[in-house]
Amino acid sequence: MAQAPLATAVSLAGGLGFLAAGTNTSSLTASLSHAKKLLNHPEASPSPLSVGIGFIVWGSDLSTAVQAVRSFVPAAIWLFSPRLTTDLVTWSEKLREASGGKSQVWIQIGNVAAAVEVAGLCKPNAIVVQGADAGGHGLARGAGIISLVPEVADALDREGHGHIPLLAAGGISDGRGVAAALTLGASGVVLGTRFLAAKEAEMKPGHAEEVLRTSDGGLNTIRTTLFDVVRGTNRWPAEYDGRGIANRSVEDEEKGMDSEENRRLYEEALAKGDGGWGKEGRMIAYAGTGVGLVREIRGAAEIVEELRRDAIAGLEQTRARF
Ligand SMILES: Cc1cc2nc3c(=O)[nH]c(=O)nc-3n(C[C@H](O)[C@H](O)[C@H](O)COP(=O)(O)O)c2cc1C
């Protein structure tokens, strides 16, 4: 979903867009070349490329990542979900070295202990604090950012890492959420679910409609490992599940259907392509609880500008009220 058109549109609007390498680094070079072209980035430029790359560490190939970072020097490298924390140390060191120190290393964590551990071991340029409302994969046991961000900030301060900027992720879909996260002590915010409804996101029409259709995110999304089970992507470390829109597979599991049958029915729905989304469908739409605030498809630049404008207005209005 997050390929060069979306990532570069966010960056050109003053955010920082990330290319999703996920666990598959095979198309990374093509995505980075596309991003470089869209950004009009000169060949001999001493500045890094204005996009980041997101890697899912447990399932990605480090040598392909090193090659891509060496050739394209992205502004930031995003690391998430290692099997072992020591893998993050190796990835941070190798990718920093590959970029000649020009790419920042951002690490996404989901609890206070992990924040303190990665701050000490990896010296990240930023820590992404992912709360339980986030769409996509995250820790099964977690807290919302309203308590997680300030507790992480206090713990890092205590341990001498208070200078590391925190970026809040999870459940932020509009300017009010951005204002709240900044008030909690975050230096910036990360939005995933909101950009599923960006014009530039690579979404099948049925998938996008499902995102727009879904409201009441706490009720209609669920944290589960079922989506990985039916998709056959269940090699995630045990502490992770994922939040997505509750669908027919979830309902069937709740009624007692076994995983094999559920998986077979998913494969059948998959063969129907774009026909399988919706409340009665089995196609998977990872999304956070903020999905209920996502109501229309807009250009990514417009979304970034609106978030910034509404956050500033929200902070000013709050100040005026109290
Ligand atoms: C469809 C989707 C796919 C995601 N894929 C990844 C991923 O590949 N790597 C990653 O680190 N985080 C991924 N995330 C999680 C984001 O990093 C981020 O934590 C989350 O989107 C923030 O919460 P929000 O969705 O409520 O905005 C994904 C999120 C969504 C919605």
CA angle 126, 52, 236 (to 5 degrees): 80
How remote is the CA of residue 321 from the centroid of ligand 1, in Å?
A: 34
What is the atom index within ligand 1 of the atom nearest the CA of 289?
26
Which residue has its alpha carbon closest to ligand 1 atom 15? 136
What is the atom index within ligand 1 of the atom nearest the CA of 22?
8
Instruction: Please give the Cα distance from 56 to 234 (Å, whole number).
Output: 14
190 lines ligand 1 (CB under 6 A): yes
55 lines ligand 1 (CB under 6 A): no
214 lines ligand 1 (CB under 6 A): no
Which residue has its alpha carbon closest to ligand 1 atom 3? 136
108 lines ligand 1 (CB under 6 A): yes
How remote is the CA of residue 10 from the centroid of ligand 1, in Å?
A: 15
2 lines ligand 1 (CB under 6 A): no
**pLDDT values of the chain reduced to their tens digit, one per residue, 322 residues:** 999 999 999 999 999 999 999 888 888 999 999 999 999 999 989 999 999 999 999 999 999 999 999 999 999 999 999 999 999 999 999 999 999 999 999 999 999 999 999 999 999 999 999 999 999 999 999 999 999 999 999 999 999 999 999 999 999 999 999 999 999 999 999 999 999 999 999 999 999 999 999 999 999 999 999 999 999 998 999 999 999 999 999 999 999 999 999 999 999 988 887 668 877 899 999 999 999 999 999 999 999 999 999 999 999 999 999 9
Report pLDDT for 275.
64
To test ligand 1's pocket by mutation, which of 118, 174, 193, 283 has the most ligand atoms within 8 angstroms of CB? 193
133 lines ligand 1 (CB under 6 A): yes
Residue 122, SS3 per DSSP: helix
Instruction: Dump the DSSP string for 266-279.
Output: HHHHHHTGGGG-ST
Instruction: Please give the Cα distance from 31 to 25 (Å, whole number).
Output: 10
How remote is the CA of residue 133 from the centroid of ligand 1, in Å?
A: 10
Strands (DSSP E) contained in 91-187 are: 104-109, 126-130, 136-139, 166-169
Report pLDDT for 54.
97
290 lines ligand 1 (CB under 6 A): yes
Single-letter amino acid code for the residue at 28: L
What is the atom index within ligand 1 of the atom nearest the CA of 21?
8
Report pLDDT for 272.
80
Report pLDDT for 219.
97
How remote is the CA of residue 136 from the centroid of ligand 1, in Å?
A: 5
* Domains of the chain as residue ranges with CATH: 4-200+296-321 (3.20.20.70), 205-291 (no CATH)
Burial 134-154 (b: 16+ CB within 10 A, else e): bbbbbbeebbebbebbbbbbe
What is the atom index within ligand 1 of the atom nearest the CA of 286?
1
Report pLDDT for 24.
82
How remote is the CA of residue 148 from the centroid of ligand 1, in Å?
A: 17
